Chain A
Amino acid sequence: MAKTLQGITLKGSAELVAEFFSFGINSILYQRGIYPAETFTRVTQYDMSLQLTTDPKLKNYLTNVVTQLKEWLFDCTVQKLVVVITCLETNEVLERWQFDIECDKTAKESSAPREKSMKAIQEEIRSVIRQITATVTFLPLLETACAFDLLIYTDKDLEVPEQWEESGPQLIDQSEEVRLRSFTTSIHKVNSMVAYKRTNSM
């Protein structure tokens, strides 16, 4: 892959971002307790230890989504990725982890690799994932059974494959938003933020 020695190409950048999402989503699921902690296993990535799920159905779903996402990142047609956490009893959206993706479209035409060191990118990704872990301290507890969904905001005219369907944005009613760190591969810039439902303080 042309990303370690010669700089970042569009393909390499797409792969980096897709990889980040794969690990990021797993971290969110582990930290928020959507799936039981026993179903996760520890792996090392970005010079830190992260949790990765072993549930085959979940793995399959994530792989499907991330491969499609990689393709769209390469085409620069994806604008946002959102992890929506819904309460199963009340069907309300409780949390929204939103990742804005800004793609430099000139990279499509030029095809000359950009100068950015892998180390710097990894350092940035590391700080983002650490911050995701740290946000758990102030997010309200998810006491009821919850499920998650992945939404992707794309260009209106994009043709989606058969397994994908259009959906609503699943916004939170009365939310608090917090902006988190961002990282960039010099071709793709990913801004992260989390929105959670305001709890009525007793």
Chain B
Amino acid sequence: MEEAAERIRSHTSLLQLTQEKQQMELSHKRARIELEKEAHSSSRDLQRQVDQNQDLLTKIRHLEEKEEKLSQALSEQLDNNKALKRSLEELKKQANEKDNKLGEGNQMISELKDEVQTLNQKLQIQESKFSTQNLENQALQEQLEMQRKKYQEVNQKYQSLQSSQLSSTESELKIKELKRRLVLQEQDSIIVKNMKTEVARLPELEREVKRLQEDNLYLRETKENCSLLKEETEGLRKKLERMEKVVEEKLKLETLLHKYCKNYEVLKLLMKLAFRRTKPKKARAQLQSEATELRSKALEEQKKRENQDALVRRLQKRVLLLTKERDGMRAILESYDSELAASEYSPQLTRRVKEAEEMLQKVQAHNTEMETFCIILIILSLSGYPRWELAEHTLQKMNPPLRSIALKFNVVIVCLGRQKIEELESERQRLEEQNNILEMRLERHNLQGDYDPVKTKVVHFRLNPTQVAKQQRAEELEQLRAECERLRDRLRKMEAGGAITTDDTTLIIPPSQEILDLRKQMERAELKNQRLKEVFQKKIQEFRTVCYVLTGYQIDITVENQYRLTSVYAERMEDSLLFKASGPVGSGNMQLLETDFSRTLTELVDLHLFHQKSIPVFLSAITLDLFSRQTVV
């Protein structure tokens, strides 16, 4: 067991060792391969290095060649440099000359500034004058404005006047129109009154017509009645005669009656007497029988008498009636007779009849006119529908013939009435629609908040939130405006203070200390500059005056390189000499130029300039000459 285990262990160790050996071999191989690779790579590198080396050598050669070239170029450049330096020196000299000229220019500037100062003073005077003028101008403008206001007021008044005039003319026109209308209306009213009176006369005319018609009928009837009446009168006459006879009989009977009555009374007395005297029995029987007989007779007589009385009464009545009839007939007959008295009977009647017929025709024509007029009136009255009842009333008032004619036109009336009704219906509908629209509009207005200012007013609390909010807003606005103004002022100050804002002024950086320092420095430098200028000017001025005094010539630079000399003893202001600098500035070569004055000095010029070639001698000679000329010894 243990041997097996050991064998196994040794086996395993063997295996492990073989594995390790294999691994070692592998690693060896790998290492060899790597070394070969490295060798290859190093050989390559070496070759590369060699190549590089060669390249570098060639480069070095190139560079050496370049160096040579550059050294040549450098030498050339040095030469150039020297030449440039020389030119620079020359330029410096020119610059100096220019500075001199600048100095002179500055002198001119100073002079000009003096002039400017004088001009400024003048300007100030002018400005003061101008301001006074401005004040006057303002005062005048104010006056002008007042005048303009007055003018406007006057204009307004004038316009109002014109408008009032227009309105007055219009009103006058209206008045005229109204007067015309009034006159027309008065005329119309007069016409209407006339018509009214005529219309009022209408019933009377109708009555007259009626009467005339009745008269006509009556006349016609009377014509027939005439003959009848005559027959009647004859008959009545006969009756009258008979009646008269009867009256006579009656009178006779009355007398008989009287007699009988008297006899009766006498008999009665006799009877009484006889009754008292005679013997009672016989006489009484006889008397009684006689009495009875007499009584019966008396009764009969009484009856007769009564009958007679009644007859008499009837007869009397009849007589009265007949007498009346007779009288009437007599009167008619008399009237007829009187009518017929003068001439014949029928022509007068026919004439009468003709006249009556003519009258009748006229009346009929008038009647028809009146009828048509009435119909027209009816139609007119009906056309104005409120007078419908009036029209009916007039219809009722009218007399029958007119009414019948009017009623013939009933159809027309009915049509008109129907038309009226339709019109009224349509108007009613229109009015209803309008009413609806107005009600809707009213409702809408009510919804929107409208009100009737006569009955209603709108109130609110004074300190209400809207008021408060508006006030707050206004205050905020004021504050913002004030801030805005402040910022604007600040900006203006900043711009004026010297910060050069070229394109954008949005960024306003507050001035830093450096900038302030620099500004101060700049101001100081400017002040310095100004002072130097002033000093320089003074000095130059001094120098020039000294030159003038000592040398006797005033030297001015007219143009570039030209100098004008004016002598102190010059006879005229224009006498001057002109010199020109011929060489570079500072070398001192001057040439004299022709002037009028120099032409007078040809001898001196020849002597001093051409022969002696000295300008100072020439100038002093001129001075002496001029001096000698001025002062007469």
Contact = CB atoms under 8 A, between A and B. Distances in A.
Interface stretch (B96-104, B227-235, B406-414, B447-455): B447-455
Contacts of A164: 459-462
A88 interface: yes
Given A98-B449, A147-B470, A177-B447, A166 B459 contact: yes
Given A88-B470, A147-B469, A177-B444, A167 B460 contact: yes
B459 A167 contact: yes
A56 interface: no
- A interface, by DSSP: helix, strand, loop or mixed? strand
B302 to A, nearest CB: 102
Contacts of B454: 156
A193 B444 CA distance: 11
B465 A153 contact: no
A61 B463 contact: yes
Given A96-B449, A169-B449, A86 B458 contact: no
B350 interface: no
Nearest to A158: B457
A170 B470 CA distance: 15
B238 interface: no
Q: Chain B, interface size: which category?
A: 20 to 34
Contact of B462 (A91, A163, A175, A179): A163
Contacts of B464: 61, 149-150
A79 B459 contact: no
A124 interface: no
A171 B460 contact: no
Contacts of B587: none
Contacts of B505: none
Interface in A184-198: 193, 195
A156 B458 CA distance: 9
A79 B466 CA distance: 22
A36 B457 CA distance: 32
A163 B460 contact: no
A168 B461 contact: no
A100 interface: yes
Interface string A75-112: 00001101010101001000010101000000000000
Nearest to A168: B458
A61 B463 CA distance: 8
A32 B313 CA distance: 127
Nearest to A195: B448
Contacts of B465: 58, 61, 147-149
B456 A61 contact: no
A172 to B, nearest CB: 7
A160 B459 contact: yes
A117 to B, nearest CB: 30
Contacts of B446: 100
Nearest to B451: A153
B160 to A, nearest CB: 30
B473 interface: yes
Q: Which of B447, B462, B467 has the most CB of A within 10 A?
A: B447
A151 B444 CA distance: 19
Contacts of B473: 88
B457 A153 contact: yes
A65 interface: yes
A165 interface: yes
A96 B451 CA distance: 14
Interface in B423-459: 444, 446-451, 453-459
A177 B450 CA distance: 13
Nearest to A167: B460
A64 B448 contact: no
Q: Which of A86, A96, A169 has the most CB of B within 10 A?
A: A169
A148 B469 CA distance: 9
A175 B458 contact: no
Given A88-B469, A166-B457, A171 B448 contact: yes
Contacts of B449: 80, 82, 96, 98, 169-172, 195
A179 B447 contact: yes
Interface string A20-59: 0000000000000000000000000000000000000110
Given A98-B447, A147-B470, A152 B459 contact: yes
B154 to A, nearest CB: 36
Interface string B226-268: 0000000000000000000000000000000000000000000
A143 interface: no
Contact of A165 (B444, B455, B462): B462
B458 A153 contact: yes
Nearest to A148: B465
A171 B455 CA distance: 18
A133 interface: no
Contacts of B450: 169, 171
Nearest to A160: B459
Contacts of A149: 460, 464-467
A167 B498 CA distance: 57
Interface in B183-227: none
B457 A156 contact: yes
A167 B467 CA distance: 12
Contact of B456 (A96, A155, A163, A175): A155
Q: Which of B464, B465, B467, B473 has the most CB of A within 10 A?
A: B465
A151 B462 CA distance: 11
Q: Which of B444, B451, B458, B473 has the most CB of A within 10 A?
A: B458
A193 B459 contact: no
A175 B457 contact: no
Interface in B453-502: 453-470, 473
A152 B460 contact: yes
A163 B459 CA distance: 10
Interface of A: 57-58, 61, 64-65, 79-80, 82, 84, 86, 88, 91, 96, 98, 100, 145, 147-156, 158, 160, 163-172, 175, 177, 179, 193, 195
14 contacts: A57-B468, A80-B451, A84-B466, A96-B449, A147-B468, A152-B458, A154-B457, A156-B455, A158-B457, A165-B462, A172-B448, A172-B449, A179-B447, A195-B447
Given A96-B448, A147-B465, A163-B463, 14 more contacts: A61-B463, A88-B473, A98-B449, A149-B460, A149-B464, A150-B460, A150-B464, A153-B458, A154-B458, A171-B449, A171-B450, A172-B448, A195-B448, A195-B449
The 9 lowest CB-CB distance pairs between A and B, nearest first, are: A147-B469, A177-B447, A147-B466, A149-B466, A149-B464, A164-B459, A167-B460, A151-B460, A147-B465
